[in-house]
Structures are given as structure tokens and as C-alpha cells.
Structure 1
Amino acid sequence: MKVAHVTLYPPKNSKHTSGSGVASYSKNLITSIQASAHTQSVVCNVIDSPEQYAEDSLDVRRVFVKKPSFIIAVHKELKKLDADVVHIQQELALYGGIVTAFLLQWLVFLWRKKVVITLHGVVDPSKIDAKFVNENNSRLPVWIVKLAFRIIYTPLVKWSQKVIVHEHYFKSILIKSYGVDAKKIIVVPHGVESLVAFEKQNAREKLQLSKNADVVLFMGYATGYKGIDLLIEGFGEYAKINRNAVLVIGAGKHPKLHDNEAYLKEYQRLQDKAAKIIPAGQYRWEGFIDETEIGLYYSASDVSLYPYTTAISSSGPMSFAIGYEKPFLVSTAFADIFAQYPHLLFERSPEAMATRLDYFFSHRNEYSETSSLMKSERTWSNVGQRTVRAYETITGLESGSE
């Protein structure tokens, strides 16, 4: 079976880079499938200039720049490859700005008899309100944003042969809000790497963190729905009852917004808020954390926090926590996803977050096996096998683009 992957892809000899977690996701997925002896090509983004090369026994073709013309470059390359399956990774504005998000549907239409699409985020239009719009750095009226999501997602799921999502919760949204046939949707969890944590005290020494501190980690790009206001307020409450607690804020500036004046002003507001609410010795604002240090930060922490206001996609940073088998806590935005793990959840209020942190540090043994269990269910080898089964359901269909 010949598979062409359309995605962002990390530079040679790297995996976790700034810009999008989809790039590292794709590399993990594709290399896990490679063991299955399928012929694979990666049609991906240009780094410095267009090029074609082999890496990990894969055919990598860097042919498009993230702008509206990307669909022309990708379509031409797909015609050369004539693959049995075209697997497209989708995240809002992944291939450029909002215009490219609308244009992607035409690429799906052209290759509709061969397309498997992975939706890394699924937004329920019924849940879009003024708060959601504001958190996602938009000034458009709510009704326009709702309409835009329907216009973007409906053709993608209609014209694809199979749709992959990472959680059953997202499948239910596609069925109820977008009218997708349940048989068309395949749930394949976000894979987690088989990572080995450093010894905690060694990691803390390298990061200059106290060996006796109760260390709480937040990692991820600073965007509205990540709940950084709640993170700061909730930890501020907890810091009042635990002077030994330290919050490490690995909130990098989002690469798509680094030149946006309003976004930079909001980023500074959050930094100022942390300085005002949390005692100086009980937090560190680290900003973007390079991939070479990710393991150190998770190894040095006792628990990581995900106080999101809404669950619109699987969390890459959370996958690190699972991969390193480290405890984590999440807001009730993830209640439908982690319903079987109620001890992980806290209501979206500062007091509730502080209470959950207090419970965690008093009952650590209750959290020791949760990430290990999730890790066993979400290995990349398992994810690769399940993805290949999705390919196999369509390889008997008529091939070719129209």
C-alpha cells in the first residue's frame, strides 16, 4: 500500500519544534507505520527551499509554503505520487492563515476517493459564544464564527472517506453537530512517546529548583483557551496554604501571533498578573521551553496542570506528561474525556483548582498509576496499527483524483 501524507513536518534530525505540535505528531505516526512495510511519502512544508530527501527510510518532499497557493503545490505532488491513500492532517490554519483553512476543503474534494483526514481539533458550534471568540483572539461576531466553523469542517468530513479523531468526545460532536455518519469516524488516540524521566533531584539541580519544593508545571503556547488566567489565580490561592509550592510557567508566545500587537499586550498582561498575584519566590515564568529541555521540566515537576476553558483538541503537552508517566490535573473542560478518572478533574474556578492541588499533594499515591495506564493504551505502535486499519478500509475503492 502506498500512502501520501500531507502535513507539516519537522526539519531533518528533529522532532519537537516550535510552530505546531502536528509536525511532531506526524513524524511519530509515520515512523511508527514504517515498521509495517508500507511505502510512504511525506508532502510537507518548505523549511528553507523546496527539496526532496530520504529520512528514516521515508520519502520526504518539501513542496509548499504556508499560504493559499499550498493546495496547488500539494495537488501537483500528489498527482506524481499516485498513492493509494492520501492522509491529510488538519488543524485550524495549519497551512497558513484562515484563508488556507477554507481552501483545504478543495484539496480534500480533488482527492476525495482516497482521503483519510485527521482532525486535531473539533469545535462544537453550539458551544461557541462571546467568551470563546475572545479567547481565540477574534473580534468577529459570534454568529459569523459559528458559520465559519461549519463552512470549514462540513466539507472536510463530507468528502473524506474516513475521519480520524483522538477522543470519543470529538466523535460525538461530529455526529451531533455536523451530521457525520458514525461509521465514517474512527477514534485513534493521540499517541504518546515512550519517554524515560530523569532522576527528579538531578533535573531540579539543573533547573535550579529546590529539591524540597512542591513543583507544579504548566507547558504550552499562551492562548486564550489554555486558561492561564485560571492557572495564575488558582495557584495564587494554593500558594497561600503551601509556601513550599512553586509554579513553573512554560507558556511560550504562539508563533502565529508573535507579531500581533493585541496578543503581545495580552501576553504581558498575564505576566504582570502572575507577578501581582503569586509571591515572587513561588513561580517562574519560563516562556517557551526548547525541546532539548522538555524532559528536564517534566522530570523536575510533581504534577502538571491543564486548566483549559474548553477542550477543542488533544493536548500535546499532556501527552508528554503521559509519556513520562507523570501525574497531571485537568479542568472539567475535559470531563467527557476523562470521566473515568474523576480524581484528575477540578472545576474551572481558582478555589477548586487550589483544592485539587491540595488534595493531590496530600494523596500522591492515588495518582501514581494513572499516566502509566494511559501510556499503555496510547503507544505509537498501537496508534500506527489502528491508523493503518483505517487506510485498509478504503484501499479497495477506485483510485485517482478528479
Structure 2
Amino acid sequence: MENKFLKEFNQENSILVISSYPRKKERYSKGVCAVASFTKNTLLAIKKQNPDKKIVILTMQLNNKTEIYKEDEMLIVRCFKRNNPLSYLNLLNFARKFNNVKTVMLEFEFSSFGDVISTGSLSFVVWALFILGKKINIIIHQVLLDLREISSHIGLSRRSLKIKAFNFALKRFYKFLSFPAQNIIVLEDELKNRLQNIISGDKITVIPHGVDRQVNYTLTKASARKKLGIKSNDFVVLYFGYLTWYKGVDFLIKSFQKLNQIKEKQVKLIVAGGPSFTQGEKEHYKKFLAKTEGLAKGYPHIQITGFVAEDQIANYFKAADLSILPYRRFMSSSGPFSLALSFEKPVLLSSNLGLLIESKDAKEALDKVGLSKESLTFKLNSKDLLTKIISAQKASQHKKLLAFSKVLGEKRAFDNLAPIYLKTILQNYVRIYNRKLLVSPSVTR
């Protein structure tokens, strides 16, 4: 490493971040997990609030070689390999070089760092950092205590001995991972409720998933539809995100096979996403993906786009009338939900995902616009989904749904959450947020 980088970034008040991270000059990259964009948006907001704060990101290699470069006045060190726990030694070597930096942020999501062995080995990295005298803050993106709930997603039988063994190990992993940390941050109240059955609730802070307010607001619906070849009078429903079982994409496509018109309007379902980055090479997933893609064949009003490049994201959200998240299981916050808020799009959630709008700030937003949780959620069956879509088409309801996304999106802007992250990771406590400064996002300790 060049001495000039060490001299500039190896400071006591710097922050060392361990996470997946997007490619150069991108925020939403192909070939990295979704945590990457979350991390970059969070760090850019922290940097905007504190321009003098030095941030070092230790992240995965992209071309099987170590790269060190500056971007957005932050230092990016691509020093370890996904799915290669031996490369964690190189990660620790770089962490040791930044010996003056005491504060560490680790963005953790299952499969983000690799398979079971790579994920399990990460806990030993956390302990090694603790021994090196680092103050560790872990942002845990997923909390699931019973893998039987997602057995179809991970390709295991609910009754298999393997899943029983994993369940036995899961709670112990969370406990072992979290013990050396001074703070645990989760993105939903429900995730804290689950996690505090294993570790002390006093250590856990809830900070909601940030909303990207740097998106293209000047693009009109008409322009977006023209770019995508969508008729101006079509009613466009958008599913955005990877094609996975737990997100219910196959259910949604099945539901729309015979639903090509609603109240004299032609309906178009756009499935804007491609194969899962973390699941893509697994045989059970390949079968699921082939089956899901097959469901759309022969139905011209259903389109599966494949991975959506960063410069195309705005087109799809702007072209849509309604965003739908038909998740089968709730195990994390939702990036697509936050993107829908970014573009101020009306959104419907499956009842399984209804916990997303039970937080304090979401309830405040619902009350402010005159909506109930029930008006945004549907049971996971085609009949109830259609009922809620028809309701969302009504001008008065559509207006309220738009207002809800706008209000909650403003509350959860990454810029508004950045001060809370700094208070949390730089201190052993977090004070109640300042309503005037932070526009009252939901933060609980």
C-alpha cells in the first residue's frame, strides 16, 4: 500500500468498513450483492454530513487481484475474495495496517461473503478485529432463526437432518458473531425482536433502510415509457429485484397470466430483475429460475427484463403505475421497497411483508395520508391481490399511496439517517433523534 494512503487514512477518527461494494463510479452494480449499494449510499451520506471524516472500505476483489484506489474521497481496498475464507488473512493484514483506526463497520448478510464456510469463518474475523483493539459495529441485514421457513429458497427439505443442524448452529452463530461487537444495527423492529432472544437488546439499535434521494426526478412517465416501448394508456405493474422464491416472483407471474386487463385498461407486468447473485450457481435455483421464466412464456403482457443496469432503473420505476412486493417470507428489510419510496411510487406489499410498515415512522406516514396497513397489504392469493390492485387504481386511493411513499421516503433519506449512524458507531449509546434535524425517522434502541 502506498504510504500516502496510509498517512491520509490511518487516523484515529477514521472508519474502517468491511462490506461488499459496487464497481467504480457505480452505485447499483451487476455481479455484487445488493448490500453493496446500501453500503455506498450510507457512506456517501456520512461523507456528505462530515466531509473531513476519513473512510476506508475493505471489500471483495472483482478481477482476482488487489486494487487500491480513491473514489468519492474514500479509500477502496479490494483485498479479499468472496467464497474464499483463506483470503480473510489478507483482509486482516490490511486491517492491521490501519492500526490507528479503531472504529469498524461490518455490513453482514448471509451469502454476501460466500457459502456456509465463508460465512461461518467471518465470525473469526470479527474476533480477530476485536483482539486487534477495534470497536466493532455490525449491521445485520437478515435475521432468520428457522430455516424451514425458507427451505424452498435454500433447496433443502423442511424435515432434513441438514436443516435441523443448520438451525441448531444458527442461533449460536449470531451469538458468537455479535459478542465482541459494541453495537448491532438492524433495519427493522421485527429483526431486533428476533435477535434480542439471543443477545442483549441493549446492544441492538434499529435504523431503517435508507432511501436514495439522489435519483432522477426530472424524468417523466411519458419519457420513460417511450424509452421502454410501453403504451401511454397501459396500467403498468412493476416487480423489481432478483428472481427468488422467497420474494414470490413466481406467484406474481402466475397471478398475471390471465390478468391482462383491469377495468378497460390493458395491464402490463414488468419483472425487472435477473438471476440471484448469491444463488445463481446452485442447482435447485437454476431449476426454480427456469420454471419461473417459463411461466412468462406465451404471455406478451408479461416481461422479464433480466438484470437492470443502473442507468435504466429510473426508466422502469418512472414508467410504472404500481410497485408490488409479493414476498413469501420476511427475513430482512427490502431494497426494492426503498427504491419504490425513492421514486415515490405507490406500493403494495404481501401480508408477509406487512411488518415493514409497522415501524413508528411508517405508522406516522400512514396516519398523515389517511391510510391503514391493510390498504397497502394483500394476502398471498390472486383474488386478494386483484382486489387491492383495483383499489389502487382509484384516483383517491392512488393519490394517498403516492403521498405515503413520498412522506416515508423523505423521512428515511440516507442523508437524514447518516447522523444516527455516526452517533451509534462512535459512541456506546444513541440518543433519541432530533425531530427537526432528522425528520423523525424510526430509530429504537
Mapping 1:306-385, distance limit 5 Å: 306-339=325-358, 340=363, 341-362=373-394, 363-385=397-419
Mapping 1:245-284, distance limit 5 Å: 245-275=267-297, 280-284=299-303
- Structure 1 Cα separation of the partners of residues 164 and 258 of structure 2: 36
Structure 2 counterpart of 1:110, which letter? A
Q: CA deviation at 1:121?
A: 1.0
Structure 1 counterpart of 2:27, which letter? K
- Structure 1 Cα separation of the partners of residues 96 and 328 of structure 2: 42
- Structure 1 Cα separation of the partners of residues 192 and 259 of structure 2: 36
Q: CA deviation at 1:285?
A: 1.7
Q: CA deviation at 1:330?
A: 0.6
Matching residue of 2:190? 169
Structure 2 counterpart of 1:297, which letter? Y
Kept after mapping to 1: 8 A contact 2:138/2:183: yes
- Structure 2 Cα separation of the partners of residues 75 and 255 of structure 1: 25
Larger CA deviation: 80-89 vs 67-76: 67-76
Matching residue of 2:230? 209
2:175 to 151, 154, 172: 154
- Structure 2 Cα separation of the partners of residues 148 and 107 of structure 1: 18
- Structure 2 Cα separation of the partners of residues 191 and 57 of structure 1: 21
Kept after mapping to 2: 8 A contact 1:216/1:248: yes
Matching residue of 1:4? 16
Matching residue of 2:156? 138
| Structure with higher RCO (Cα < 8 A, 6+ apart) | 1
- Structure 1 Cα separation of the partners of residues 343 and 97 of structure 2: 41
Mapping 1:69-218, distance limit 5 Å: 69-82=86-99, 83-112=101-130, 114-125=135-146, 128-129=147-148, 132-139=150-157, 140-141=160-161, 142-176=163-197, 178=198, 180-194=199-213, 195-197=215-217, 198-218=219-239
Matching residue of 2:57? 42
Structure 2 counterpart of 1:328, which letter? V
The superposition leaves residues 145-202 of structure 1 with CA deviations (integer Å, 9 ceiling, x where unpaired) of 31232233221222211000011111111113x2x22211111111111123420011
Given the two structures, how large is their TM-score scaled by the length of structure 1?
0.91
Q: CA deviation at 1:256?
A: 3.1
Kept after mapping to 2: 8 A contact 1:3/1:86: yes
Matching residue of 1:292? 311
Kept after mapping to 2: 8 A contact 1:222/1:228: yes
- Structure 2 Cα separation of the partners of residues 394 and 63 of structure 1: 29
Q: CA deviation at 1:375?
A: 1.0
Unaligned runs of 5+ in 2: 1-12, 364-372, 430-445
Kept after mapping to 2: 8 A contact 1:136/1:224: no
Q: Does 1:58 align with 2:77?
A: no
Q: CA deviation at 1:111?
A: 2.2
Q: CA deviation at 1:321?
A: 0.7
Q: Does 1:222 align with 2:243?
A: yes
Q: CA deviation at 1:109?
A: 1.3
Q: CA deviation at 1:105?
A: 0.8
Instruction: Give the SS at the match of 1:368.
Output: helix
Kept after mapping to 2: 8 A contact 1:253/1:288: yes
Q: CA deviation at 1:136?
A: 2.6
Kept after mapping to 1: 8 A contact 2:261/2:267: no
- Structure 2 Cα separation of the partners of residues 153 and 216 of structure 1: 38
1:244 to 262, 266, 269: 266
The superposition leaves residues 51-104 of structure 1 with CA deviations (integer Å, 9 ceiling, x where unpaired) of 211111112111111111132111111111121211111000211222111011
Kept after mapping to 1: 8 A contact 2:112/2:278: no
Kept after mapping to 1: 8 A contact 2:321/2:345: yes
Kept after mapping to 2: 8 A contact 1:307/1:330: yes
Kept after mapping to 1: 8 A contact 2:246/2:329: yes
Structure 2 counterpart of 1:285, which letter? I
Kept after mapping to 1: 8 A contact 2:59/2:77: yes
Counting aligned pairs with the same residue, the percent is 25
- Structure 1 Cα separation of the partners of residues 145 and 384 of structure 2: 26
Unaligned runs of 5+ in 1: 396-402
Instruction: Give the SS at the match of 1:358.
Output: helix
- Structure 1 Cα separation of the partners of residues 170 and 261 of structure 2: 42
Q: CA deviation at 1:394?
A: 4.2
- Structure 2 Cα separation of the partners of residues 305 and 20 of structure 1: 21
- Structure 1 Cα separation of the partners of residues 154 and 344 of structure 2: 30
Instruction: Give the SS at the match of 1:32.
Output: helix
Kept after mapping to 2: 8 A contact 1:238/1:355: no
Matching residue of 1:29? 42
Q: CA deviation at 1:241?
A: 4.4
- Structure 1 Cα separation of the partners of residues 173 and 381 of structure 2: 33
Structure 2 counterpart of 1:89, which letter? E
Kept after mapping to 2: 8 A contact 1:251/1:287: yes
Given the two structures, how large is their TM-score scaled by the length of structure 2?
0.83
Structure 2 counterpart of 1:84, which letter? K
The 1:70/1:188 distance shift into structure 2, 3 A limit, reads farther
Q: CA deviation at 1:342?
A: 2.9
Instruction: Give the SS at the match of 2:323.
Output: strand
How many residues align? The count is 387
Kept after mapping to 2: 8 A contact 1:70/1:95: no
- Structure 1 Cα separation of the partners of residues 398 and 259 of structure 2: 16
Q: CA deviation at 1:240?
A: 5.9
- Structure 1 Cα separation of the partners of residues 87 and 19 of structure 2: 11
Instruction: Give the SS at the match of 1:9.
Output: coil
Instruction: Give the SS at the match of 1:159.
Output: coil
